[in-house]
Amino acid sequence: MSASRILNTTLGQADFHPHLSQQRRLYEAVRAAILTQQLAAGNKLPSTRAIASDLGIARNTVIAAFKQLAAEGYVSSALGSGTYISASLPENPLSTLAVSEPPIANQPSTSCGDAANLSARGSKSTAYAAGARFEIQPFAPGDPDFSIFPLKLWQRIQNRVWRDARPELLDYGLAGGYLPLRSAIAEYLRASRSVNVSVEQVMITSGTQQSLDLCAHMLTDAGDTAWVEDPCYWAARRVFESRDLLLHPVAVDAKGIAPNERDLATAPRLIYVTPSHQYPTGAVMTLARRRKLLDIAAAKRAWILEDDYDSEFRYTGRPLASLQGLDPYGRVVYMGTFSKILYPGIKVGYLVVPPALVRPFKTALYDLQRPGQMTVQAALADFIALGHFATHIRKIRQAYGAKRELLCKTLVAQMGDGIAISGEESGLHLVVELPSHVDDVAVARLAAESGIEVMALSTYYAAQPARRGLLVGYAYVAPGKIAYYGKLLTNVIRSAVRK
Amino acid sequence: MSASRILNTTLGQADFHPHLSQQRRLYEAVRAAILTQQLAAGNKLPSTRAIASDLGIARNTVIAAFKQLAAEGYVSSALGSGTYISASLPENPLSTLAVSEPPIANQPSTSCGDAANLSARGSKSTAYAAGARFEIQPFAPGDPDFSIFPLKLWQRIQNRVWRDARPELLDYGLAGGYLPLRSAIAEYLRASRSVNVSVEQVMITSGTQQSLDLCAHMLTDAGDTAWVEDPCYWAARRVFESRDLLLHPVAVDAKGIAPNERDLATAPRLIYVTPSHQYPTGAVMTLARRRKLLDIAAAKRAWILEDDYDSEFRYTGRPLASLQGLDPYGRVVYMGTFSKILYPGIKVGYLVVPPALVRPFKTALYDLQRPGQMTVQAALADFIALGHFATHIRKIRQAYGAKRELLCKTLVAQMGDGIAISGEESGLHLVVELPSHVDDVAVARLAAESGIEVMALSTYYAAQPARRGLLVGYAYVAPGKIAYYGKLLTNVIRSAVRK
């Protein structure tokens, strides 16, 4: 049977992942065909053009699905010579998989937890299943355009590190990370973010998740209360929940987090905020609010965790200094990441901790996470020292700025006064606000059917009446395609609003 | 002031890290001199020979300290041209570090936690401070000899991955890891460890700590009981404690873990074992004990976590199949790592989970740890596929086997019948047993003063009367030095036993 025929049969089954997007369904269909050996190892797949035409789906959707399959090693593609099923697959990959995997997405988490005998907190951690939902498609919020990343240059720098005869770099990292990198980060944060920092306060982690987890563990106990913004970055919520924290959502308005009397009656141990560019609304916390929040933290002996995840991307106006730089009490832990600037999989993030936390955090970082990848840290230190980091930030800021402008123009041209855009001054995404009667989840689903990945604003809310809107990422989409997808998106929005 | 003079002054202070070894004190002295700018950025340090003679300490100790400083980026050394203070340090690295770091090691953990306002569980995680204690010196247990690692070959393979024009590899890993690597691991484990595994059950993690943490989180709730071996690998204990588990130590004898009636009266949710080579005693769990443990887990609906951390290194006899391969109930999660075979900082480990756990674990792995470093995974997959992995295992097994034999011979030649060695059939370390009246912690401290890093067996015990002994690692020491250090060690032991 031809590959297209096999895939068509699978995709024709009504119960084959009915809630996933077309791209994801295609990915799952190819994957299933490989794992069940309907598509045999070493064989060539038809071209993306042929599959698109055979299955009647957009070629971009096929390309995106193939990219994901290649990234995970199911297929490999040499430039210009087509796509092949990986030759290194085992002879009978599913031979011992007697029980089929229980599905997760779109099921109450308890049923899944019961079947697998997971713990209560374990079940909770599977309820969202981001990996099964997100995919890199036009407008996926948060995805940087890592195709701009200077691969060849990076490879040269890495080679120098490896050639430099330093097997010491192959060991674990003991002391909070590679010093020249910590030092470069300290300098950068002092200069560009007004962070009050000495090199010793900088800890290199293996990314945002690891930074969040270390802070949640070291600064809170099970059952403690953490204030999170409402709406809030879902992945932070997941990590805090996994550390058995009680999450208390505090409403965010246009000036940032706005604790009211009821909020103040709680006793938070941790306050998680994104002051530079609130995730997901894009609100910038005002100076007055920042000062007030610092006073609250001091009064309640709470720690503030400032996530400055995308502060590098500011297109208009002057950025406000970091919250950490204003802190007279030593209650702020500052965190950042290189994933948004360089490439997601680099897995290098950092924390700036108050001096009193330096030793305990160093110890816990080593004992609980055991960092490594010192060669990557060394290459990154060189990348910064040689000026490539500053150049790259300028380059992507310019690229994203242009895309942002183009997207705004397209949306306004299409919708006129009918559209309100917010959070567009910085970051990698903006918010298209929708009237409160519109079901933004349904709109996002409709958009997904057109091959556009936008997120419904309401899904980020926990308690306060959810605002309706769409998070639209503009970083990971080719400039030439923005107008096209922008029009597609406004069509979807218009048809939804009209109903 | 000359560098030696500065260091001599620091080291002469009685309160300068009095409990650390000479190597660690030297490391701390150089580090402090750099951070306070007594040793200025860009300057050349005296040769290790000169420093050794100026300070009256062994040259090997100086070399080891310098290696650590280089690994962390405080100094850099080009082959043949000496050692320089890193030029990329900030102008005034300690300018804003007003409060000095509170010391951790050798203090009750509460005092440190109070000063920094850590959480209770956070304080607990700083109590051991492995990073401040361990150092790579002759006989340090668990350290592989990563100088044997074929650096140039690895670099070539990595280059091929980067050159291959695959920016997809720069993204996060969504689906449990890079498929050809998962597939290679599945094949390897089936063939060499009799693990019952399909490729879908293999999840790539970023190392042992991350594997332990994911299992503890997904399979237990705060307050649940986990059985751990007594004695036990300390780092596993740390991770379980950080997930708020109650640790119930179960005695280990020469046949492995031996639960008694009192143990059976508890209800473990998780049972953590090292059946192939118990850590640290080296005992191999018998087949009868394995079967019994599986029955217990099934009856109690507990999960078994089988840590097969160094099963690749077996020098005599045939290895027993994995516990996982015997499991008729699907209650075993199997884990392994590449850190001991390739190099510690690679940070690639893996889990083999029962089919029912595949989906939930994939989700939690992505949502809580957000794996990346797909380029490393791709290079590793190629390294295995091209046969280099098998070659390398053979090579290091031979090298370690020869070292092990030499060490045993030296110890027996020196001590005669006065020495009992155990756990030497496999792994990277053996245990020299000591009479019960000997303080093995004091012996280890004495050994450290001679530049030898051995661990006291008693420190791994939690409940049952601790056996006394020394863990002696033989992987990370030059073959030509084993006899020398072996004699040094027996001298230390003899003088301690005689007292």
Q: What is the pLDDT of residue A453?
A: 86
Rounded to an integer, what distance in angstroms lies between the CA atom of residue A335 and that of residue A352?
6
What residue type is assigned to position B244 of the chain? D
Highest mean pLDDT among B48-57, B71-80, B102-111, B381-390: B381-390
B225-236 pLDDT per residue, tens: 999 999 999 889
Q: Which residues pair with A311 in a beta bridge?
A: none
A349-383 pLDDT per residue, tens: 999 999 999 999 999 999 999 999 999 999 999 99
Q: Residue B123 and residue A345: Cβ atoms within 8 Å? A: no
Residue of chain A with shortest Cα separation from B64: A168
Q: To which residue do tokens 């900030």 refer?
A: B90
Q: What is the pLDDT of residue B111?
A: 36
Q: Residue B171 and residue A71: Cβ atoms within 8 Å? A: yes
Q: What band does A100 get if pLDDT is binned at 50, 70 and 90?
A: very low
Helix B151-163 vs helix A151-163: crossing angle, to nearest 10: 180
Rounded to an integer, what distance in angstroms lies between the CA atom of residue B139 and that of residue B443?
14
Q: What band does A135 get if pLDDT is binned at 50, 70 and 90?
A: low
SS3 B228: strand
Which member of B72, B170, B201 has the closest CB to residue A146?
B170
Q: What is the pLDDT of residue A133?
A: 54
Q: Which residues pair with A400 in a beta bridge?
A: none
B429-482 pLDDT per residue, tens: 999 999 999 999 999 989 988 888 899 999 999 987 899 999 999 988 888 889
Q: What is the pLDDT of residue B78?
A: 62
Q: Residue A363 and residue B125: Cβ atoms within 8 Å? A: yes
Tell me whether B367 touches chain A (CB under 8 Å): yes
Q: What band does B353 get if pLDDT is binned at 50, 70 and 90?
A: very high
Tell me whether A80 touches chain B (CB under 8 Å): no
Q: What is the pLDDT of residue B114?
A: 43
User: What is the spatial order of strands in the sheet that A268-273 belongs to?
Assistant: A202-205, A349-352, A332-337, A303-307, A268-273, A225-230, A246-253, A256-257
Q: Residue B174 and residue A93: Cβ atoms within 8 Å? A: no
- The token pair at A415 is 């919708």
Q: Locate the DSSP E strands across B118-230.
A: 202-205, 225-230
Rounded to an integer, what distance in angstroms lies between the CA atom of residue B471 and that of residue B231?
12
Q: Residue A372 and residue B169: Cβ atoms within 8 Å? A: no
| Residues sharing a CB contact under 8 Å with residue A289, sequence separation 6 or more, in sequence order | A255, A256, A257, A258
More confident residue, A159 or B81: A159
Residue of chain B with shortest Cα separation from A385: B88
Residue of chain B with shortest Cα separation from A244: B222
Q: What is the pLDDT of residue B93?
A: 47
- CA angle at residue A125 from A248 to B376, to 5 degrees? 120
Please report the residues numbered 30 through 49 in chain B whose beta carbons come closer than 8 angstroms to any beta carbon of chain A.
35
Tell me which chain B residues have a C-beta less than 8 angstroms from the C-beta of A378: 73
Whether B113 shows a pLDDT value over 80: the answer reads: no
Which member of B99, B166, B363 has the closest CB to residue A104?
B363
Residue B39 backbone phi and psi in degrees, to 5: -105, 120
Tell me whether A70 touches chain B (CB under 8 Å): yes
Tell me whether A1 touches chain B (CB under 8 Å): no
Rounded to an integer, what distance in angstroms lies between the CA atom of residue A455 and that of residue A470?
6
Q: Residue A179 and residue B89: Cβ atoms within 8 Å? A: yes
> Residues of chain A with pLDDT > 90: what percent?
55
Look at residues B481, B203, B142, B120 and name the one whose alpha carbon lies nearest to residue B344: B142
Tell me whether B201 touches chain A (CB under 8 Å): yes
Q: What is the pLDDT of residue B135?
A: 55
Please tell me the pTM assigned to this model.
Answer: 0.87
- The token pair at B191 is 């063939």
Q: What is the pLDDT of residue A129?
A: 67
SS3 B454: coil
A231-277 pLDDT per residue, tens: 999 889 999 999 999 999 999 999 999 999 999 999 999 999 999 99
In order of their start, the domains of chain A are 3-117 (1.10.10.10), 151-386 (3.40.640.10), 391-498 (3.90.1150.10)
Nearest chain A CA: its distance from B138 CA (Å): 15
Q: What is the pLDDT of residue A85?
A: 86
In this structure, are residues B408 and B416 in contact, taking their beta carbons and an 8 Å threshold?
A: no
